[in-house]
Chain A
Amino acid sequence: MADYTYTLLIPLIPLFVFLLLGLTGHKMKPLVAGLIGSTGLGISAILSYVTAFKYFIGEHVAGTGYASIKGFEVSWLHLTDKLTIHLGVLIDPISVMMLVVVTTVSWMVHIYSIGYMKGDPGFYRFFSFLSLFSFSMLGLVLATNIFQMYIFWELVGVSSFLLIGYYYEKPSAVAASKKAFIVTRFADLGFLIGILMLSFNTGTFDFQTLTDPNGPAIASAGGAAFMGMSVLTWSLIFIFVGGAGKSAMFPFHIWLPDAMEGPTPVSALIHAATMVVAGVYLVARLFPVYALGAPDALMVVAWVGGFSSIFAAVIACTQTDIKRVLAFSTMSQIGYMMLALGVSGYGGEEGLGFMASNFHLFTHAMFKALLFLGAGAVIHAVHTNEMTGMGNLRKHLPITHITFLIACLTISGIPPFSGFFSKDEILVAAFHSNKMLFAIEYIVAGLTAFYMFRLYYGIFWGKDTHYHHTPHESPLVMTIPLMVLAFGTVFAGFLPFHNLVTSDGLPFESHIDWMIAIPSVLIGVLGIVVAAVMYKKENPLPDKMAVTFKHLYKWALHKFYWDEVYLFVTRKIIFQHISRPIAWFDRHVIDATMNGIAGITQYTAYAIKGFQSGRLQQYAFVFVSGTVILVLIFVYLV
């Protein structure tokens, strides 16, 4: 077994860059800060590739597949003999894959941001926060135990808060960052409860022990039951609640569209490729426990994922802000990943869903980041987010146009791009497990193609809108990341994931099931054609359809009014009936007690001030009477 201690550098370099830029960045020239950030991430990326190479090629053991290795571990908090919290690095197929994904996308975003954020006064602050985020995400991915993952989970939430609220002078950005943090924090409460339940019942935090098929965790499934489901199932459902919050699954999805207030590179990095897949990663990490010990929890995961994907797809068809369309598209695709995990079994062919989910995670990171960065280039050129303010941009932004088109074709599942392969595997897994879920996902595939091409035609085709100044192509520093990601999108589909990332570490045979593949391609093409008909040229067809389906259109445009529901619950119920009484109690009881103690002290002080009157005879009197009393007590009474 090789030595993987150097993998510690992968998260630590961004941490060092964060500290360096955060403390001294204001003295640097902006370009220097950007270069330092990008170089740091570049080194981490190269180290990740080296690790991936070493692991996937060097660690293959015939018969048992890829083992998970603890590259480094240190005991951080030793509370009692049974309760110790370690910090360490875990090398495992999915963590190595995530290392590659996170560092690559982060590196590309860093390079892109040098161009995108040019001229912004807080340039170095942006890069330091990006590095903080990279550090947190890498720490989360490399966590050896669930508590360490929770620590970095929260750190990721903080970084997201800082980055969404980057334009802190805009009230909408501040509100959005608060909303994101509060919603995810609320879901993390469920996560914490799940962690506590799980570790209490199994006696360990460590992933290797928890996911051991012969270990104590899975054996405890037969233990105590509560309301029909075992304690293990309940704890896993709570853990999934935490994952659902971070991954913007229904009903915790409300923060994701608002998070688009942040700068576009942030949306690309965090809210498309890395942070939002943390929930998927969590379920994947605990997958053996889910599959072997609590299949009911997996059912919950699958249905939540399926519902979220169709919910988001319907809403995305009506949105006009290009970043919001992409946000809902992200939510929908993550629904795909969750569903794939949910319908998966454990071991060999059964584990197809697991592999498909991770494969889709990999490809989705590439093409979604590409889509967001391309949208950023568009926004950079025309200074508006709304589709109504854009048109005919394919003449002005050629490179952006080509890469955006590639990404749209990928997400629609057209071969030979990578999206086809990963989506197809998910559909196969769903077909073999639950026909209803398969039907939902099939419809969502069509809707995805439709709204993505609606977006594409709306931006790059149509009539020339009146622009303030002619839009120009982005500088090279912004287009090179687009090209690199496009390259990954095209060729990532050919990676043999079924040999590398599987549920139990052993490779299995996988082939394309043409029975499923051909219909899925067909519905993708159908979606593209419908979108072309409706949006390629200016015509009144979309407006007529909006009028025909008036109610459905209105509800979808307002995201099914979930924001209003949440606002109602918080303002009218929680604030009025819970927060207000608590605030009253705090002010009138607790503060009054403190003030009362101080007041009594002051009153007593004034009252006994007279003892120190300066009058000699009073002192002598007290002296004499005190002596008399003491003598009385000690000689006669005691």
Chain B
Amino acid sequence: MLNEVMFYLFGAMILTFSVLTVTTRRILRAAVYLLFVLISTAGVYFMLNYNFLAAVQLTVYAGGIVVLIIFSILLTSHLSERAVMAPLKQSIFSALATLAGATLTLMTILRFNFVPNTGVDPQLNITDIGNSLVSYNRDGYALPFEVISVLLLAAMIGAIVVAKKERKLKE
């Protein structure tokens, strides 16, 4: 019973805060609302017993990305600057497109009968996750692991090169 209440609470938080993120005029507040959305999502993961995943979400997303965003906000704008909202025409059209898409998707999803697999709830412990992350047999995820490390390397180099300050040539 409590589980259901918790779930509804988390769901409501996700939706409210995401709406607030995209509509607020103050940028820093938008970042904070985003933070709350991410924390609520982590809560949902906890409820589904994916503990490691929730921890990663909190660490990387809530702890890393939101901090990065806040730093960049502070670098590029005044704290009291109000965001300029889009013209009305653009808002209306986007809202229409969004609503249409949402309706369509919901109709498709809700019509379909998903048959849940009522089986045993597996207990994931961290040793199993760690083993499968680096093993290369049929159940192993070594390849994605390597790929993602190359991607991170590239992103790191790219970000450094792009954001480098251009040195002015002194003639």
Residues of A at the B interface (CB closer than 8 Å) are: 617, 621, 624-625, 627-628, 631-632, 635
Contact = CB atoms under 8 A, between A and B. Distances in A.
Given A632-B104, A635-B108, A625 B97 contact: yes
A621 B104 contact: no
20 contacts: A617-B86, A617-B90, A621-B90, A621-B93, A621-B94, A621-B97, A624-B97, A624-B98, A624-B101, A625-B97, A625-B100, A627-B101, A628-B97, A628-B100, A628-B101, A628-B104, A631-B104, A632-B104, A635-B104, A635-B108
Interface of B is mostly: helix
Contacts of A627: 101
Nearest to B100: A628
Which of B86, B90, B101 has the largest count of A CB atoms less than 10 A from its CB?
B101
A632 B93 CA distance: 18
A635 B107 CA distance: 11
Contacts of B104: 628, 631-632, 635
Contacts of A621: 90, 93-94, 97
Interface of B: 86, 90, 93-94, 97-98, 100-101, 104, 108
Contacts, number: 20
Given A621-B97, A631-B104, 18 more contacts: A617-B86, A617-B90, A621-B90, A621-B93, A621-B94, A624-B97, A624-B98, A624-B101, A625-B97, A625-B100, A627-B101, A628-B97, A628-B100, A628-B101, A628-B104, A632-B104, A635-B104, A635-B108
Contacts of B100: 625, 628
Contacts of B101: 624, 627-628
Contacts of B86: 617
Contacts of B90: 617, 621
Contacts of A635: 104, 108
B81 to A, nearest CB: 20
A624 B86 CA distance: 18
A462 B98 CA distance: 112
Nearest to B90: A617
Contacts of A617: 86, 90
A624 to B, nearest CB: 5
A618 to B, nearest CB: 9
Contacts of A625: 97, 100
Nearest to B105: A631
A628 B94 CA distance: 12
A611 to B, nearest CB: 15
Contacts of A631: 104
B72 to A, nearest CB: 18
Nearest to A615: B90
A627 B97 CA distance: 10
Nearest to B86: A617
Contacts of B97: 621, 624-625, 628
Nearest to A625: B97
A130 B98 CA distance: 84
A617 B89 CA distance: 13
A631 B90 CA distance: 23
